[in-house]
Amino acid sequence: MLKIKRLMQKHVPGMMTCEAVDEFLYDYHEGNLSYFESVKFKLHLSMCKECQAYVLGYKNTIRTSQENFITPEPIEKIPEELIQAILDIRTDK
Amino acid sequence: MINQPSTTIVDQNQEKKFLNDLINNNNSAYETLVRNYSPKMYAVARHFFSDNDDIQECTQKTFIQVFKNIKKFKQDSSLTTWLHRITVNEALMMIRQKKRQYSESLESFSQHYNEFGERTAFCDNTGSNIEAVFELNERKNSLNEIIYQLPEKYCNVILLRDIQEISTKETASILGITETSVKTQLHRGRQILKAILEQQERVNAEINWKVK
């Protein structure tokens, strides 16, 4: 597979390298690649296990950060003490 | 995701009058401002912190900025949008103050390519940086902490774009950088975060294996 990948990179015009995959990855994830770029990107992925793993890891990282970032439960009402403390800041000025 | 707060004062003329009252130091207008807008600002701040005390502190600090700067408010956006931005900036400022930054050697979390532009083994022998990540994780094993400890430029864009899901354009405007910089810094930040999380995964797997 490595040989095929190198041969294609050498002889197929516009064939992406792994390095180029990295450059296009952000726009691929955002859905901003043109049709032609997207085809080249996917063609490289279909031949390159390392990039497949890398792209999967990249997507997993974004998903993990979105799912695991901890935020406290929303509150129904702002505590009166907080409101008073804020109003006091102003009068203290 | 931040729900953009609905505008409390819908009518533009009404908002102008309200702002005038604030600029003229009308006490009752200030009380209305705090009571009506603090829930929205609290809701925005909530998405940056895991601790209620931090959210309250952020809400308070935001109001200090609002009180100081209300006269400078140019009214080129709605009051709600302006308050939203100040809250986000204050949250980022608090995170900046709390964080213990890694050294620039985090740059060593780079991808490496050979002469053919092919991906070679990932360079993960980052020595003390990785140890620092895990010392930190032992103290508080949360993703929040890992993100907070990233270099500031990466931390900010990850928080705004990936966690808060704020648009690239708005993120660029809040941070005062170009949309291209947002894109570049976000991509780099994600790569570093990916490397850290995968490293953590490997260490955890090793610990579990040893325990068994």
Kindly report the nearest CA distance between residue B52 and chain A, in angstroms: 7
- The answer to whether residue A32 scores a pLDDT higher than 80 is yes
| B10-44 as b/e: b if 16+ CB within 10 A | eeeeebeebbebbeeeeeebbebbbeebbbbbbbb
**Domain residue limits, chain A:** 2-92
Tell me whether A3 touches chain B (CB under 8 Å): no
From the candidates B124, B185, B190, which should be mutated to test the interface with A, based on the most A CB atoms within 10 A? B190
Tell me whether A46 touches chain B (CB under 8 Å): no
Task: Give the residue from A74, A26, A35, A79 showing the smallest Cα distance to A54.
Answer: A26
- pLDDT for residue B25: 84
On whether the CB atoms of residues A74 and B43 are closer than 8 A, the answer is yes
Q: What is the pLDDT of residues B77-94, one digit of tens each?
A: 888 889 999 999 999 999
Task: Give the residue from B39, B58, B61, B60 showing the smallest Cα distance to B50.
Answer: B58
| Pick from B47, B117, B158: CB nearest A19 | B117
Q: Is the CB of B60 less than 8 angstroms away from the CB of A57?
A: no
Q: Is the CB of A51 less than 8 angstroms away from the CB of B183?
A: no
| Pick from B52, B144, B194: CB nearest A61 | B194
- pLDDT for residue B103: 44
| d(C-alpha B96, C-alpha B39), whole Å | 24
Q: Residue B127, SS3?
A: coil
Q: Is the CB of A61 less than 8 angstroms away from the CB of B190?
A: yes
A7: its two tokens: 């041969």
**What single DSSP character describes residue B115?**
T
ipTM, 2 dp: 0.84
Q: Is the CB of A17 less than 8 angstroms away from the CB of B162?
A: no
Q: What is the pLDDT of residues B30-70, one digit of tens each?
A: 999 999 999 999 999 998 988 899 999 999 999 999 999 98
Q: Which residues have a Cβ under 8 Å from the Cβ of B122 and sit 6 or more positions away?
A: B111, B112, B195
- How many helices and strands (H and E) does chain A possess? 5, 0
B73: its two tokens: 């408010």
Please report residues of B whose CB lies closer than 8 A to that of A83: 34-35, 38
Q: What is the pLDDT of residues B134-150, one digit of tens each?
A: 444 443 457 888 898 89
